Amino acid sequence: MQFPPELLFAAAIAAVAFLAGVLVLRGRAKRTRSVGLRVAGGPANLRFTCKGCSGQFTHSRRTLHAWHKGARQFYCKACHTKGLGDKRPRSS
């Protein structure tokens, strides 16, 4: 059975359009940098309010680890780094 060239050309165009649509929709999907999907046994909300600056942030691996250790108040990366700088021992 032979297909006319116009039909093959139309099928190729449709396949390319379908793949382009899938790639566009995949590119528009929201992604989180380090958390991904909600972790079982983790916080109910993937966002937290920083104790230091009161900003809203997405949980990171560091804050999820703190959650599992029992912490319920978290600092954003900037406030956490600033706090670490204050606690580091000074060399004379």
Give pLDDT, residue 33.
54
The answer to whether the pTM exceeds 0.75 is no
**In contact, 52 and 82? CB cutoff 8 Å:** yes
Tell me the per-residue pLDDT of 21-53, one tens digit each, with 9 for 90 and over. Answer: 888 888 776 655 555 545 567 788 889 999 999
Nearest to 48 by CA among 72, 78, 83: 72
What is the average pLDDT across 7-25?
Answer: 92
Q: What is the pLDDT of residue 15?
A: 95
Owner of token pair 């309010």: 49
Which of 39, 37, 60, 38 is CA-nearest to residue 48?
A: 60
Average pLDDT, the chain: 83
Q: What confidence score (pLDDT) does residue 84 get?
A: 80
Percent of the chain with pLDDT strictly greater than 90: 42
pLDDT at 79 over 60: yes
| Domain positions in the chain | 1-30, 34-92
